[in-house]
């Protein structure tokens, strides 16, 4: 099973195939990610007379002073979004269409190597687990997916943080750099891994659920099709279904991750010691207390709209790339 999955292609070819899929997916899905981040970073409106601190694209509601001289440079309650389509319309109207692709360079810098590492690590780990009989073929995708994602999350967490901040508000890279430097000066280099906990809690279960369901759905679909038929279409369908299920179950952790990351640097802007952020579970309870259960699923629609096609595009592109390299390697062997 492991040899069949790897298909005789090298790890480098796997990385190229997954990197190409990451580029295609990012180009199509970034606008939905921007809308999701905006909806999740939005907090309940504050009472009149209170200010919102605006720091290089980071919004965090704080009670600092009534409206007055000190608030001259502060932004009042920003444009609020009532839903996914409302966010699309208002972002385009007030900030321009290009804002929907804000953070795309950072996204590509992060996702291309991260996806290449992640997909290659998954295939290699699954082959290792099955080849050594360390776990059953049924659960090997779940274990391999969780381990591959845990390593990837740790490596790219700082880039994920910067991407989230860029998408939370439309700012320049110079402003982003200034805010990150202020945060590092205040909290040390560990502050760049702010949100690692909820990110891992979101992505590791997501990956385990995704690959477990993907292999099951793909196997079921393969049983309904002729053996000589291409698997790219089936990979597209299986990836979309599996991504949707995993995205729904892990959405509350995605909300926590976003809120922790967009808060980075806000307090430093006025030289106020950062408030204790609290554990992931405390933040989950706080969000539920402030916004109800609905707050834990903020950005539900754009995350689902994004998860299904992005997972489908990514996995089908990856499978297509692997098939391409398999044929290329076979032609080389026959020609030699």
The domain spans of the chain are: 103-335
Q: Would you state the pLDDT for residue 315?
A: 93
In the chain, DSSP finds a helix count (H) and a strand count (E) of: 10, 2
Q: What is the pLDDT along the chain (336 residues), one digit of tens a residue?
A: 444 445 578 888 889 989 888 888 888 888 887 887 788 777 654 433 333 332 222 222 322 333 333 333 333 344 678 888 888 888 888 888 888 887 787 678 778 888 998 999 999 999 999 888 777 888 999 999 999 999 888 887 777 666 666 656 556 667 667 767 776 777 777 777 776 777 787 789 999 999 999 999 998 888 776 654 557 888 999 999 999 999 888 888 878 777 766 665 454 444 444 445 567 778 888 888 888 888 888 878 878 887 888 899 999 999 999 888 988 888 888 876
**Among candidates 108, 107, 111, which has minimal Cα distance to 119?**
111
H or E segment at 87?
helix 84-95
Q: Would you state the pLDDT for residue 241?
A: 94
- Which two three-digit tokens encode residue 335? 């020609």
Rounded Cα–Cα distance for residues 15 and 259 (Å): 32
Cα separation of the two ends of the chain = 27
What superfamily does domain 103-335 belong to in CATH?
Answer: Mitochondrial carrier domain (1.50.40.10)
Q: Would you state the pLDDT for residue 54?
A: 28
Q: Would you state the pLDDT for residue 123?
A: 92
CA angle 54, 59, 65 (to 5 degrees): 55
Residue entry with tokens 């965090």 = 60
What are the phi and psi torsion angles at 161 (to 5°)? -60, -45
Helix segments in 169-299, DSSP class H = 173-187, 196-224, 232-262, 280-291
Supply the angle between the helices 196-224 and 280-291 in degrees, to the nearest 10: 80
Write the CB contacts of 225 (distance below 8 Å, at least 6 apart in sequence). Answer: 234
């Amino acid at each position: 099973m492991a040899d069949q999955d790897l298909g005789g292609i090298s790890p480098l070819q796997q990385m190229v195939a997954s990197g190409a899929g990451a580029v295609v997916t990012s180009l199509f899905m970034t606008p939905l990610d921007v809308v999701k981040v905006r909806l999740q970073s939005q907090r309940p409106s504050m009472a009149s007379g209170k200010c919102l601190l605006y720091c290089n694209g980071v919004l965090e509601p704080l009670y600092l002073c009534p409206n007055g001289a000190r608030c001259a440079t502060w932004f009042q309650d920003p444009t609020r979004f009532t839903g996914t389509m409302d966010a699309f319309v208002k972002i385009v109207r007030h900030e321009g269409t290009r804002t929907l692709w804000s953070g795309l360079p950072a996204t590509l810098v992060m996702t291309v190597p991260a996806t290449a590492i992640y997909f290659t690590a998954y295939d290699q780990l699954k082959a290792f687990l099955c080849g050594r009989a360390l776990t059953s073929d049924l659960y090997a995708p779940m274990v391999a997916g969780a381990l591959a994602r845990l390593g990837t999350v740790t490596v790219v967490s700082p880039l994920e943080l910067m991407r989230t901040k860029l998408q939370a508000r439309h700012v320049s890279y110079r402003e982003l750099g200034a805010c990150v430097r202020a945060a590092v000066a205040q909290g040390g280099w560990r502050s760049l891994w702010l949100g690692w906990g909820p990110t891992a809690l979101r992505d590791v279960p997501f990956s385990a659920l995704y690959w477990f369901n993907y292999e099951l759905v793909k196997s079921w679909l393969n049983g309904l099709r002729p053996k000589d038929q291409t698997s790219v279409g089936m990979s597209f369908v299986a990836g979309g279904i599996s991504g949707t299920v995993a995205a729904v179950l892990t959405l509350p952790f995605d909300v926590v991750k976003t809120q922790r990351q967009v808060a980075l640097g806000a307090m430093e802007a006025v030289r106020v010691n950062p408030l204790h952020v609290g554990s992931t579970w405390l933040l989950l309870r706080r969000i539920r207390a402030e916004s109800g259960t609905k707050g834990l699923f903020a950005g539900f629609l754009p995350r689902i709209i994004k998860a299904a096609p992005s997972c489908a595009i990514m996995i089908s592109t990856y499978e297509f790339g692997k098939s391409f390299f398999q044929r290329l390697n076979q032609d080389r062997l026959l020609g030699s």
